[in-house]
């Protein structure tokens, strides 16, 4: 079985074999990057119908051309590393070329460009479009949405894209942050967002584990959930003082895992605490069964007021995952702190007797 390419899911972040991949280390060439996206178009847009690749214009080649589930024509410009101002202007030139075409010429261009380089053959684009959407294409003229795709965030390009969008140009920027889990390559697809931690997840080989932990806590202190993050860390370390913090890698999260010893003295993941840049005012908390077993009823009752994380079921076999807000913590945090302290005390007795 070959490599599987797909979008990152929240549950991947807590997998033991999850590891980030630095930009530039995954694809040796832009063509291979393009190959992976052509074979897995849902990475870019759910339900995307790719209709063209490397389409010739009078100013260069369009990397990918696709149509989303609403029938919108999307022009994709791909870059392996960072975008540049040239990337933005190049994509606009391509869009201008397409919008200047007559409807019949546009349909012919798509049909003639299909059937190669991984794009299925479309002998009659107008009929194929009508079969999918129940209407003829381009009835209101040829309108293009531009999507720039890269593996690194670039502040000047982001400002240009935001300005164009604010002034009526349909354009966005998808940043594909890569990671690996087993035989799968995962992409976290963020819209024009720089993850606060991405560059640091690849420290030099000389970086010590304690330095990584200190850095994560320092960066967390800059977020909206800084005080909450600190209080939850204090709750965990007070309840299980014999444990230790280790960094938990994730492309867009400030994550730590509290390692405890099992009754056979082997180390095990006990609790994960994480701030995700998609919801920076919340703290994600995952209590593994290694901790839950010492007070399952008390802990689950104390966790009940907090909602489960997006994409993760409550009461998972391996633990309990919750998203904690400052307001919910103010109302229910004391009960959780008491329940965890009770579990910690029972844990200490079990370990001492083993």
User: Phi, psi (5° rounding) for residue 29?
Assistant: -140, 160
| Separation of alpha carbons 253 and 160, rounded Å | 26
Token reading at 126: 């107008």
* Domain 4-191 belongs in CATH node 3.40.1350.10: yes
What is the enclosing helix (H) or strand (E) of 78?
strand 73-78
Q: What is the dihedral of CA 119, 142, 174, 15, to 10 degrees?
A: -50
Q: Is 47 left (phi over 0), alpha (psi -120 to 50) or beta?
A: left
Average pLDDT over residues 285-311: 83
CA angle 264, 268, 274 (to 5 degrees): 160
Q: Are 248 and 14 in contact (CB under 8 A)?
A: yes
Q: Where in the chain is the domain with CATH 3.40.1350.10?
A: 4-191
Q: Where in the chain is the domain with CATH 3.90.1150?
A: 198-353
| Separation of alpha carbons 166 and 303, rounded Å | 42
Q: Max Cα separation, the chain? A: 81
Q: In sequence order, what are the residues at sequence separation of 6 or more whose Cβ sits closer than 8 angstroms to the Cβ of residue 288?
A: 268, 269, 270, 271, 272, 318, 319
**Residue at token pair 């000389």:** 206
Residue 284 has pLDDT above 50, yes or no: yes
Residue 314 is predicted with a pLDDT of: 35
* Average of per-residue pLDDT values in the chain: 82
| Separation of alpha carbons 229 and 256, rounded Å | 11
State the sign of the Cα–Cα–Cα–Cα dihedral 205, 207, 212, 218: negative
Residue 331's pLDDT band (boundaries 50, 70, 90)? Answer: very high
Among 34-38, 166-170, 263-267, name the most confident range: 34-38
- CATH fold of 198-353, please? 3.90.1150
Taking the alpha carbons at both ends of the chain, their separation in whole angstroms is 44
Residue 131 has pLDDT above 90, yes or no: yes
Higher pLDDT, 184 or 1: 184
Average pLDDT over residues 108-123: 93
Residue 136 has pLDDT above 60, yes or no: yes
Residue 106 is predicted with a pLDDT of: 92
| Separation of alpha carbons 192 and 236, rounded Å | 35
Q: Are 145 and 171 in contact (CB under 8 A)?
A: yes
């Amino acid at each position: 079985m070959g490599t599987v390419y797909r979008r990152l899911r929240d549950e991947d972040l807590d997998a033991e074999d999850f590891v980030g991949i630095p930009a530039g280390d995954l694809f040796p060439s832009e063509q291979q990057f393009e190959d992976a996206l052509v074979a897995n178009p849902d990475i870019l847009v759910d339900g995307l119908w790719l209709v063209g690749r490397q389409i010739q214009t009078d100013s260069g080649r369009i990397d990918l051309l696709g149509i989303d589930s609403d029938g919108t024509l999307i022009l994709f410009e791909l870059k392996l590393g960072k975008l540049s101002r040239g990337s933005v202007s190049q994509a606009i030139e391509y869009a201008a070329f397409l919008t200047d075409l007559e409807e019949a010429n546009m349909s012919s261009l798509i049909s003639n460009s299909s059937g190669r380089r991984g794009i299925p053959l479309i002998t009659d684009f107008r009929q194929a479009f009508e079969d999918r959407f129940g209407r003829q294409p381009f009835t209101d003229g040829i309108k293009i949405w531009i999507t720039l795709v890269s593996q690194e965030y670039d502040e000047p390009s982001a400002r240009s894209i935001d300005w164009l969008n604010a002034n009526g140009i349909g354009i966005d920027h998808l940043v594909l942050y890569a990671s690996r889990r087993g035989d799968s390559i995962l992409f976290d697809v963020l819209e024009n967002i720089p993850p606060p931690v991405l560059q640091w997840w690849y420290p030099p080989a000389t970086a010590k584990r304690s330095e990584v932990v200190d850095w994560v806590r320092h960066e967390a202190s800059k977020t909206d959930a800084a005080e909450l993050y600190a209080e939850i860390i204090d709750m965990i370390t007070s309840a299980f003082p014999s444990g230790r913090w280790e960094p938990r890698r994730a492309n867009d999260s400030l994550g730590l895992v509290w390692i405890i010893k099992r009754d056979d003295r082997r180390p095990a993941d006990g609790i994960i605490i994480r701030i995700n840049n998609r919801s920076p005012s919340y703290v994600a908390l995952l209590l593994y069964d290694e901790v839950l077993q010492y007070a399952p009823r008390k802990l689950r009752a104390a966790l009940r007021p907090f909602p489960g994380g997006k994409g993760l079921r409550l009461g998972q076999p391996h633990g309990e995952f919750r998203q904690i807000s400052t307001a919910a913590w103010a109302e229910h945090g004391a009960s959780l702190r008491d329940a965890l302290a009770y579990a910690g005390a029972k844990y200490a007795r079990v370990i001492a007797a083993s």
